[in-house]
Structure 1
Amino acid sequence: MTTPTLKPTVREVLEAATEPLVGLWSASGSTIDAEILAQSGPDLIVIDGEHGPVELRDILHLLQTLEAFDVTTVVRVPWNDPVRIKQVLELGAQNLLVPMVSTAVEARAAVAAARYPGNAGARPGVRGIGSALARSSRWAQVPDYVGEADDLVSVIVQIETAEGVANAAEIAAVDGVDAVFIGPADLAGSLGHPGAPGDQEVVDAVDSTIDTVAALGVPVGVNAFVEADADRVLARGASFVVVSADVTLLARGAAAAVDHHRARGHGI
């Protein structure tokens, strides 16, 4: 029998990186779309369990599909909920993205949900110990999975509120937070500019959060579908950017193809 080997975590990938990482969203739930994304050569693929139709079994199938590719897979859970975090980890996710983290207390809760209890209460952890029944340990084939789980799992917390921006330093300093990810869309709503992530107040909040987190030596990433935004945040010091999504690429590509031919007088 061959002992399974798990992939490096996003924490390890970020530590080893010599240049910023580029990621894509897998939002449709389609394993075919995920294959196409992976074949394009991104460093990261984020499976989005917060928005869209992606449920637990979909996450499992996407993780299994992406296992074959040289890409780091991150799963965004729908909420900072210890039950869903436990379930997603047991599916074999090694890297979690937890949305709407606005305080250090919420960041500590996310980390605790991803950790098993420490020896004699050495540190907080509330993850239920059931990995022998789950893909996380490859059904007990990964040696000492429970003891080694902290090294096999990474936690990224997402700052996307005005409160989170104000508390960015405290959030990034929480033990077990491996990276911070900034969501400009919800941040724009929180700052009173819904649908306008390019508003200068939002841009300033994103940039100040990058400065704060990077100054602490914690990797920081940004959701940046506009090329100029991606260029700006990378120049500012972001360690990774997520630049598009399967559904976005399909929608824009389909519309562009149709519009191109209609503009030439075809199909009229």
Structure 2
Amino acid sequence: MPAPHNPFKAALAAKQPQIGCWMSFGETIAAELMSTTGFDWLVVDGEHGPNDLRSITDQVRALEPTNSHAVVRVPIGEDWVLKQVLDAGAQTVLVPMIDTGAQAAAIVRACRYAPDGVRGMGGYGSRVTQFAAISDYATTANAEICVLVQAETRTAIENLDDILAVEGVDGVFVGPADLSADMGFPGQPEAPEMQAIIKDAITRIAAARKAPGILTFSIEAAKTYLDLGATFVAVGIDTVILATAARALSKDAKALIS
């Protein structure tokens, strides 16, 4: 039996836009709730969300039988971190702070079994192989792992062509918040100077036949990025969605007694 098909990777390769959302609660019940909302992909955030390997595993498990694909953002692009989340069942990883082609190539190697990479073979006894039930996992997994890297610094933009030249990188996510800060516009990704850089990066990524990705809180901006060729676009964060709705409801309700 081969490794499970990765529909998200296939959609990106076919240039079929995928609309997603960030998940920052770090709770399985929240992931289950988000899986009912219709998003094509959901980020299990191990970089800024309060997650560890167990909570990541639980959320991946919750999303597996649904139509919302789990994209696991690891806290750092270390071989051992990637090995653990892949063995836990992640098929798609999002790796922050990739600045060079060499770093991107190292991430690809960490996600592939030998002879194409350095991923450890211990997954035979873990849930990714259904505890050894998927007999051909080791020989078929490389083709189904989706590797997404984040370009979110001035250096990454300067080296974008080198990153895009790396075989095995399926997509490049432009991180607007960190990129804006590094470019001297902290908290201002909507600044005209930043929008010019972001739009140019998306265009270059698409031209290189890689999948461009981004997070925005604006539907109008999402349409702009999709029109430029962005393939995986996130349009919100679960914690912010709840907080915004709850604050508005509280304000409206209190207005009844003011």
TM-score, length-scaled by structure 1: 0.92
Q: Mind listing any 5+ residue stretches in structure 2 that lack a counterpart? A: none
Would the aligned equivalents of 1:9 and 1:94 in 2 still touch at CA under 8 Å?
no
Deviation per CA, 1:143-182: give whole Å up to 9, x if none: 2111111122110011111111111121122011011111
Higher relative contact order, chain-length normalized (CA < 8 Å, sep 6+): 2
* 1:115 paired residue among 112, 115, 129: 112
Please state whether the residue corresponding to 1:25 is helix, strand or coil.
strand
Greater CA drift, 85-94 or 230-239: 230-239
Q: Are 2:202 and 2:228, in contact at CA under 8 Å, matched by a contact in 1?
A: yes
Quickly say closer, same or farther: Cα 1:35–1:4, change in 2 above 3 A.
farther
- Shifted more, 25-34 versus 105-114: the winner is 25-34
1:51 is aligned with what amino acid? H
1:135 maps to amino acid: R
Q: 1:27 aligns with which of 16, 20, 24?
A: 24
* Pair 1:62 & 2:59 matched: yes
Equivalent of 2:36 in 27, 36, 39: 39
Rate the CA distance shift 1:165–1:17 in 2: closer, same or farther, 3 A.
closer
Residues 24 and 232 of structure 1: is their aligned pair in 2 closer, same or farther, counting only changes over 3 Å? Answer: same
Structure 1: where are the runs of 5+ without partners?
none
State how 1:67-78 maps to structure 2 within 5 Å.
67-78=64-75
2:211 to 219, 243, 256: 219
C-alpha contact 1:9 1:95 (8 A) present in aligned 2: no
SS at match of 1:51: coil
The match for 1:90 among 87, 90, 94 is 87
Equivalent position of 1:257 in the other structure: 249
The 4+ residue runs of structure 1 with deviation greater than 2 A are 3-7, 15-18
Provide the aligned length of Structure 1 versus Structure 2. Answer: 258
| SS of residue paired to 1:193 | coil
1:62-88 deviation per Cα after TM superposition (whole angstroms, max 9, x unaligned): 011111211211100001111101011
Aligned CA distance change for structure 1 residues 247 and 46 (closer, same or farther; 3 Å): same
- Could you say which residue in structure 2 is the equivalent of 1:205? 197
